[in-house]
Structure 1
Amino acid sequence: MTSAVAETAGGHDVLWDLNRAQGRIYSGGWRPGSRGVAGVISPGDGGRVGETGVAGEDDVERAAGIAVEAQRDWATASYQVRTGVLVRAAAALRELQPEAERMLVRESGSLPLKARYEVAKAIAELEAAARLTTMPQGDVLPVEDPGTLGIARRIPVGVVGVIAPWNAPLTLAIRSVAPAIALGNAVLVKPDIKTPFSGGALIAEIFERAGLPEGLLHVLPGDAETGEAVVSSPHTAVIAFTGSSAAGRRVGEIAGRMLKRVSLELGGNNAIIVLADADLDLAVRCGVGGAFRHQGQVCMATGRHLVHESIADEYVRRLTEAVATMAPADPSEPGAALGPLISTTQAERVQTIVDQAVAGGARLVTGGAHDGPFYEPTVLDDVDEQNAAFRSEIFGPVAPVTRFSSDEEALRLADGTDYGLTAAIHTRDVGRALGLAQRLRVGMIAVNGQTVYDAPHIPMGGMGASGNGSRHGDRWNLDEFTHWQWVTVPTT
């Protein structure tokens, strides 16, 4: 498994042999999980990808105990050692990129383009984490005694629990795992049970190849029960959770009782605001990209299209024309423009929201049906602010259009949700856009761009039901994965 090419199968070199991971968890090596195994099914063709071990509470506590011991030595490792591990992990993932992309297509229903972007983003996250080790780690502060040196310094928190979802399983795990390890912590990562290979086994593989000392990383696939065990463990000091707002509230509730820090990156119901003077071609391209990327299964997806009434008819016409050729298909098929949702259950949930939207007065312009997990690209017009399609995080390939008549109304509509993750504003007047952006209650805003935008060096996160104010990325990771320690030293 550690060789660059394990075998040749299906017309391509296999760079990553999954045999060790089949039916197992990763904790001090690959071993059976106490809750047996679960099948992993491809949403694209319904075929069996493999099976994963399922971790139970006993597995979590065993892993946490090992992690506590291993972390003590890792916390004292030099920055050169920690940097080296992260750099080699990035190189290992780059070597495995073709196989990682194939797994994302197979396991999560990603289109090849989305899979390529996700792996590239994960490599960039590893490289950014490597740079964390040389950032300033504290401050020298004055004290009353002039013969004493006062130092506020950052120290590792200890063991970090990372709970990641299925929609971008590799990136959304790596963006917490990598900085936590770079800053001297150990990690328990719980990938979603639907994507345990791209969201878990692959991460174990690259860090093993990178020479990460044993005991610092544990991969514990499972469901909500496994996740609660990670959160409830007395050994996890910080929980980094990415997922739904409902699940995030549960994580916060458990962690709050234990006075435990949580970093919550949750859902979104993000708006693109298209003003009357917008470049309509650009706005439609950004609206399509934001609404239909990964079938809308992205927390930053464009869930609401707020369009000035003077151009709304033309926006809807162009939007409908743009999605006319996006027939959903198995993402492994050449030329597929839209893949499946993660499951038929998810497609049925989207169907319920669309049906409620139409019953509530929305006009179905195109789409509005599914075949198993394959949901048609859907455009809804005349969606008012009480409509189910306006109020819900749909998490499917649906573009609801709501009309407005003034900037004030656009702002009110954009903020008419509990979520506050991201937004986009389209206008030729950049000063006007900046003024509107200052008044929006969201964590990220793109002027003349998409709601879906992220990079390793930005403070990624939201507010309200989209998160608790924590941020992923660059130096902001220091706030999530270290504690402050105050030290005074006599100098005379």
Structure 2
Amino acid sequence: MIDIANNIQTLAEQSSDTYDLINPHTRQKIRAIPECTSEQMEKAIVKGKTAFQKMKALTSEERSSILEKVCEIIAENKEDFAKTITLESGKPIRFALGEVDRTIQTFKFAAIEARKLEGESIRLDAATNGGGRDAYTIYQPIGVVGAITPFNFPLNLVAHKVGPALAVGNSIIVKPAEKTPLSAIKLVEAFKQAGLPDDAYQVITGDGPRLGKVMIDHPDVAKITFTGSPEVGKLIKSQVGLKKITLELGNNSALYVDNSVRDKIKDIAEKAVVGAFSYNGQVCISTQRIYVHEEVKDEFLTHFKQVTDALVYGDPNDPNTDVSGIIDEKSQNRLLDWIKEAVQEGGELVTGGELQENGIQPTILANVPKDTNVSCNEVFGPVVIVNSVRSADEALAEMNDSIYGLNAGVFTYHLPQAFTFAHELEVGQVLINDIPTLRFDHMPYGGLKSSGYGYEGIKYAMREMVHMKFISMNYNF
């Protein structure tokens, strides 16, 4: 078991205040968390700058070995990490265990890519008077990275920022979501045990807007990487100036089910339930809008409802639990308001739509108007719409009629149709014959429109955390 009491105590000694960390499922206090001051963030940046000098002096093999070692430590403490995720986020334990497995995989990819970041040779003699020179590019770390992470994947989404930053030789400061800081703090201790230089990875807890602004404004922070809402992301982008930036923002993932896959409708419905309701739908690529060809819509909806109604609400520490409490009461009330609005505007409530202790019953709405909140905004809860379409062309138009563009899924056996969707969907990732709630931790991952700016995915995130330098050697001089 990894003890984080000393880490929290260190932060608390420099803080003048605390806030209560609340268990989302029980709504009971877990513990007091330091409300770090702006001065603490500034001191962390100074420490991070010093740590950067140590990090960039390490060889790629040394950085890779540290990342490999942290994988071993996390694996040895898998249940401890999972219980921490469940405690602070309310995520059912079997999904929390899965998040720990993904975190190990994320750091393994970072360890591999740390040894592979290579430039290229350039033929300068392809240009007039360019002969007599050897030229190449190299990648160099940029310095201190400032990361702001969300509540829904309190360990793996931290890893997606920390892993690439350390792999290339940067230092990093994480400002975790106020609602889920414990996993990020526990990770600090794991890296200490793995031999990471002091202060190369730090966690500062407290108010996001205030502490984030310190990182944005500080001249020694070279990059900001943020996962959260489009509104905050746009504000950050307007303030960062010439810093590097990556924004992983919201989405309302769309899925099309074609009539050509009628023999797989039951299987697709089961996959869609996972996509719509895993971790109570509090996933940025949660399946939110499903468009089904009219010829198979009724059959799909029958299976979809049946599997949804069988989901088990309960204690997130119970391995049989599928859904649990929503992250907070504010989100719970918003979801109820959006469901009510959809029904008032003509949508059909197929199932769910009611409070379930501190959660929301998994909710299916059908034939929902496109201008309602559950259709055009990000639900971030256990609510999904199922609308009928007459053709694939209509589905494509409906799927693209969104301010978001992260992931989209298509089930079809029609190859030309699959290629059309692949090329014409206005999203960063298209999943053919998969639900849109799919992410492998090494794949490129970035959104269009209001869904983001820049790319994550270990190799791709690393390229956004380095400078490329061009070097030419004139051997005829």
The question of a shared fold, defined as TM-score above 0.5 by the shorter chain, is answered with: yes
Counterpart pick for 2:377 among 357, 369, 392: 392
2:33 aligned counterpart, secondary structure: strand
Report deviation, 1:371: 4.1
In 2, Cα distance between the equivalents of 1:393 and 1:295? 14
Counterpart pick for 2:32 among 51, 61, 71: 51
Report deviation, 1:173: 0.8
Q: Which blocks of at least 5 consecutive residues in structure 2 are unaligned?
A: none
User: Whose helix proportion is higher, 1 or 2?
Assistant: 2
State the percentage of identical aligned residues.
29
Task: Report the AA paired with residue 338 of structure 2.
Answer: I
**Is structure 2 residue 253 aligned with structure 1 residue 270?**
yes
2:367–2:388 Cα contact (<8 Å) kept? yes
Counterpart pick for 1:208 among 174, 182, 192: 192
1:461 corresponds in structure 2 to 446
In 1, Cα distance between the equivalents of 2:217 and 2:133? 41
Counterpart pick for 2:165 among 180, 199, 203: 180
**Inter-CA distance 211–334: structure 2 relative to 1 (3 Å threshold):** closer
List 4+ stretches of structure 1 deviating above 4 A. none
2:374 aligned counterpart, secondary structure: helix
Counterpart pick for 1:71 among 26, 29, 52: 52
Paired residues, number: 469
Tell which deviates more after alignment, 162-171 or 453-462: 453-462
**Inter-CA distance 83–334: structure 2 relative to 1 (3 Å threshold):** closer
1:11 corresponds in structure 2 to none
**Is structure 2 residue 403 aligned with structure 1 residue 424?**
no
**Is structure 2 residue 83 aligned with structure 1 residue 99?**
no
Q: Which blocks of at least 5 consecutive residues in structure 1 are unaligned?
A: 1-14, 26-30
Task: Report the AA paired with residue 482 of structure 1.
Answer: V
**Is structure 2 residue 289 aligned with structure 1 residue 289?**
no
Report deviation, 1:127: 0.8
Tell which deviates more after alignment, 223-232 or 163-172: 223-232
2:89–2:327 Cα contact (<8 Å) kept? yes
1:291–1:398 Cα contact (<8 Å) kept? yes
1:38 aligned counterpart, secondary structure: strand
Report deviation, 1:23: 5.0
The residue correspondences of 1:430-445 to structure 2 (distance < 5 A) are 430-445=415-430
**Inter-CA distance 379–51: structure 2 relative to 1 (3 Å threshold):** same
1:115 aligned counterpart, secondary structure: helix
2:285 corresponds in structure 1 to 300
Counterpart pick for 1:477 among 436, 443, 461: 461
Task: Report the AA paired with residue 180 of structure 1.
Answer: A
1:319 corresponds in structure 2 to 304
Instruction: Provide the TM-score with structure 1 as the length reference.
Output: 0.92
1:16 corresponds in structure 2 to 2
Counterpart pick for 1:220 among 204, 208, 211: 204
1:23–1:38 Cα contact (<8 Å) kept? no
1:138–1:154 Cα contact (<8 Å) kept? yes
The residue correspondences of 1:51-450 to structure 2 (distance < 5 A) are 51-143=32-124, 144-198=129-183, 200-223=184-207, 224-255=209-240, 258-278=241-261, 279-450=264-435
Report deviation, 1:334: 4.8
1:7 corresponds in structure 2 to none
In 2, Cα distance between the equivalents of 1:35 and 1:266? 32
2:135 aligned counterpart, secondary structure: strand
1:47-69 CA-partner distances (Å, limit 9, x unpaired): 33222222222111111111112
In 2, Cα distance between the equivalents of 1:210 and 1:99? 17
Counterpart pick for 1:38 among 1, 16, 19: 19
2:75 aligned counterpart, secondary structure: helix
1:302 aligned counterpart, secondary structure: coil
User: Higher RCO, 1 or 2 (CA under 8 Å, sep at least 6)?
Assistant: 2
**Inter-CA distance 37–302: structure 2 relative to 1 (3 Å threshold):** same
